[in-house]
Amino acid sequence: MTPSALEREDVARDAAFNKVLHGKSATANGGLAAMRRKDATAQKAAIDEYFKHWDKQATDETDAIRELLQPCNRLLRVRMEHLISLCRFAYGEPFHQAIARHEHYLALQAGITKDMKVLDVGCGVGGPARELVNFTGAHITGLNNTDYQIDRANYYAQKQRLSDKMVFVKGDFMQMKFPDNSFDAVYVIEATVHAPDLKGVYKEICRVLKPGGKFAVYEWFMTDDYNNDDPEHRRIRLGIEQGNGISNMVKVSDGLTAFRNAGFSLIHHEDMAARPDPIPWYYPLAGSFKHLGSIWDFFLIARMTWWGRGIAHRFIGASETIGLFPKGSQKTGDNLSLGANCLVEGGQKKLFTPMYLMVGRKPE
């Protein structure tokens, strides 16, 4: 598919903005170092635009406002690499081991094996892709719409000597540039929740998947217990959306309909968060030390406690005041806290799941 002149202009403009915004932060070691390398003026513009539209969303939740939120959400997500990935936990299981198990299970469901050509849709900075290359030996292409995250994914791949098994491509998952029937398998981890239309993105995934190939996704959904007419339910959903750069989250039943209507034969679906695990999936976000699986996870949990967040926010606020960090850094941190708090509430009330598993096959 040849891009139009308008598409080329949009891509070039987006790349130029990201270059100004992030500078050399893609190769910085650690989040604070990366934050300091970002352009202050460009970051302030992105943050101001994001919250301007979210202020409208809070009072006027319309399709038009949701459409305006799409580019604004993407601008903020480049500043919001998830502080903590979401997964299930076994008793006494260290965090890094739980994350790896979560990703390995998805690879199993997708049927990924050695030397398969696999697509990771919405790959972020490539963490799951690197894990699954090591685990399966597959060749993985990561698709992302942000130059900064692609640069960072390439940096990590080179650092871990995995570049021969991985490639990262910039693109829109609603209009992928790959030919039909390109991949043996496709997977998604917490990415297509950002799509403006689930059926549309699932249909694109079906198109690039080879006949007989499997698609497996961990999707973010409101559960079917969610009632949009309940003010408390709605507050939680809007908090999750604002804090995580999402324009619209749908219920499980709507997601399953979109999956089927995209052309997949549904093999399996299950809310992994509803399994009777001894430890809730949201315990790290809640800053709960009683479920600590390893002493090495102490600082991971500590930064999510009320006092850990307070220390971090005061530090970032002070650094912003004296010019060490760009304007808007503290507001972004407060927004992340809002999202984390609402994720925990949604999990506790069984209104939200970050890991609804859907597995489908493209018909032969």
pLDDT tier at 119, thresholds 50, 70, 90: very high
Query: Are the CB atoms for 115 and 137 separated by under 8 Å?
Result: yes
Q: Locate the domains of the chain by residue range.
A: 95-278+351-362, 283-346
**pLDDT confidence of residue 142:** 98
pLDDT exceeds 50 at position 5 = no
Please give the span between the terminal C-alpha atoms of the chain, in angstroms, as a whole number.
Answer: 24
Out of 3.30.70.20, 3.40.50.720, 3.40.50.150, 3.40.50.1860, the CATH code matching 95-278+351-362 is: 3.40.50.150
Q: Give the least confident one: 10-24, 78-92, 144-158, 224-238.
A: 10-24
Q: What is the pLDDT of residue 288?
A: 81
pLDDT (average), residues 79-100: 81
Distance CA 216, CA 106 (A): 7
pLDDT at res. 341: 92
Using the predicted structure, report yes or no on whether residue 184 has a pLDDT greater than 90. Answer: yes
CB 49 within 8 A of CB 74: no
Lowest-confidence pick of 102-116, 181-195, 326-340: 326-340
Out of 43-47, 60-64, 316-320, least confident range:
60-64
Nearest to 39 by CA among 20, 17, 13: 20
Nearest alpha-carbon partner for 80 in 298, 334, 318 = 334
- Is residue 122's pLDDT more than 90? yes
Contacts of 309 (CB under 8 A, 6+ apart): 287, 303, 333, 337
Beta carbons of 357 and 270 less than 8 angstroms apart: yes
**Residue of 143, 177, 175 whose CA lies nearest to 2:** 177
Question: What is the average per-residue pLDDT within 272-278?
Answer: 96
Choice between 322 and 1, residue whose per-residue pLDDT is larger: 322
Q: What is the pLDDT of residue 337?
A: 84
Which distant-in-sequence residues (6+ apart) come within 8 Å of 224 by Cβ?
251, 252, 253
Q: What is the mean pLDDT of residues 275-296?
A: 87
Each residue of 225-268: pLDDT tens digit?
999 999 999 999 999 998 888 988 999 999 999 999 999 999 99
Three-state SS letters, the chain: CCCCHHHHHHHHHHHHHHHHHHCCHHHCCCHHHHHHCCCHHHHHHHHHHHHHHHHHHHHCCCHHHHHHHHHHHHHHHCCCCCCCCCCCECCCCCHHHHHHHHHHHHHHHHCCCCCCEEEEECCCCCHHHHHHHHHHCCEEEEEECCHHHHHHHHHHHHHCCCHHHEEEEECCCCCCCCCCCCEEEEEEECCHHHCCCHHHHHHHHHHHEEEEEEEEEEEEEECCCCCCCCHHHHHHHHHHHHHHCCCCCCEHHHHHHHHHHCCCEEEEEEEHHHCCCCECCCHHHHCCHHHCCCHHHHHHHHCCCHHHHHHHHHHHHHHHHCCCCCCCHHHHHHHHHHHHHHHHHHHHCCCEEEEEEEEEECCC
Question: pLDDT class for 334, splitting at 50, 70, 90?
Answer: confident
98 vs 86: CA distance, rounded Å: 9
Write phi, then psi, for 244 (nearest 5 degrees). Answer: -130, 15
Better-scored residue on pLDDT, 57 or 20: 57
pTM: 0.79
Q: Tell me the pairing of strands 139-144 and 265-271.
A: unpaired
Mean pLDDT, residues 119-129 = 96
The token duo for 163 is 């570049």
The arithmetic mean of pLDDT across residues 301-310, rounded, is: 68
**Sheet with 209-222: strands ordered across:** 166-170, 139-144, 117-121, 183-189, 209-222, 352-361, 265-271
